[in-house]
Chain A
Amino acid sequence: MRKTTKILLNVLLVFTFGLTAAGCSSQSTPDKVDSASTYPERNIELVVGYKPGGGFNEWAQAIAPFIEKHLPNKVNVTVRNMPGAGGVIATSHIQKAKPDGYTIGLYDVNGLAPTQLARPDSFDLKKVSWLGTVAVDNNVGSVQAKGTNTAENMLKQEKPKYIVSTRGLASNDSIVGAISLTEMGVKWEPLNHEATSEAVLSVIRGDADILFGSYESQQKYIESGDLKPAIWFGTERNPKYPDVPIPSELGHPEFDQIFDTYKMIGAPPGLPKDVSATLEEAIQKAMDDPEFHKVLDKMDRTPSYLNAKETEERVEKLLNDYSQYTDIVKNLFDKGE
Chain B
Amino acid sequence: MGFLSQVENVLQIDMMLFLVAGVLYGLIIGILPGLGGSIAMALLIPLTFNLTPEQAIVLLISAYGASNFGGSLTSILINTPGDASNAATAFDGFPLAKKGKAGMAIAAAMVASALGGLIGLIVLDLMIPVARKLILAFSYPEFFMLAIFGLTIIAVVTTGSLFKGLISGLIGLMFAYIGTDPIMGSDRFTFGMDYLWDGIPLLAVIIGMFGITEAFSLFTQNTAIAHDVQVKKGGTWLGIKSVFQNFWLFLRSCFIGIYLGMIPGVGGTVASFMAYGTAVQMAKDKEKFGKGAIEGVIAVEAANDSKEGGNLLPTLAFGIPGGASMAVLIGGLMIHGLTPGPDMLTNNLDITYFLIAAAIVGKIVAMLIGLLLGPKLVFVTKIRGSIMAPAIITVSLVGAYGTDGKFGDIMVALLFGLIGYYMVKYGYSRIALIIALVLGKLMESSYHQTMATFGPEGFVTRPIALTLVILTITSLVWHFIKKIKKKNQIKGELAA
Contact = CB atoms under 8 A, between A and B. Distances in A.
Contact of A300 (B180, B339, B402): B339
Interface stretch (B153-161, B169-177, B327-335): B327-335
B449 A191 contact: yes
A320 to B, nearest CB: 24
Interface in A154-194: 163, 166-171, 174, 189-194
A61 interface: yes
A84 B265 contact: no
A85 B339 contact: no
Interface residues of A, number: 76
Contact size range, B: 35 or more
B18 A8 contact: yes
B186 interface: yes
Given A207-B139, A299-B334, A14 B198 contact: no
B320 interface: yes
B402 A22 contact: yes
B495 to A, nearest CB: 55
Contacts of A21: 43
A51 to B, nearest CB: 7
B38 interface: yes
B405 interface: yes
A1 B14 CA distance: 7
Interface string A189-207: 1111111011011101101
Contact of B184 (A86, A197, A220, A336): A336
B136 A205 contact: yes
Interface in A288-337: 295, 298-300, 332-333, 335-337
Given A22-B43, A84-B404, A224-B342, A205 B139 contact: yes
A204 B318 CA distance: 10
A192 B186 contact: no
B411 interface: no
A91 B380 CA distance: 43
Nearest to A10: B47
Contacts of A223: 341
B492 interface: no
B475 to A, nearest CB: 27
Nearest to B59: A11
A205 B462 CA distance: 14
Contacts of A208: 453
A201 B441 CA distance: 19
A53 B43 CA distance: 12
A234 to B, nearest CB: 23
| Central interface residue in B32, B186, B342, B454, by most chain A CB within 10 Å | B186
A14 B318 contact: no
B43 A207 contact: no
B184 A190 contact: yes
Contacts of A202: 139, 449
Contacts of B401: 23, 25
Nearest to B322: A197
Contacts of B182: 192, 194
Interface in B447-473: 448-449, 452-454
Contacts of A243: none
A36 interface: no
A122 B190 CA distance: 15
B32 A220 contact: no
Interface string A43-83: 00000000111100110011000000000000000001111
B123 interface: no
A85 B197 contact: yes
B198 A85 contact: yes
Contacts of A270: none
* Top 9 closest pairs, chain A to chain B, by CB: A336-B184, A53-B327, A336-B186, A168-B185, A85-B197, A52-B42, A18-B43, A169-B185, A25-B405
Interface of B: 14, 17-18, 21-22, 25, 28-29, 32, 35, 38-39, 42-47, 50-51, 55, 59, 135-136, 139-140, 180-187, 194-195, 197-198, 264-265, 314, 318-321, 324, 327-328, 330-331, 334-337, 339, 341-343, 398, 401-402, 404-406, 441, 445, 448-449, 452-454
Given A15-B29, A84-B404, A201-B264, 9 more contacts: A19-B29, A62-B335, A81-B405, A171-B185, A189-B452, A192-B185, A201-B318, A224-B341, A224-B343
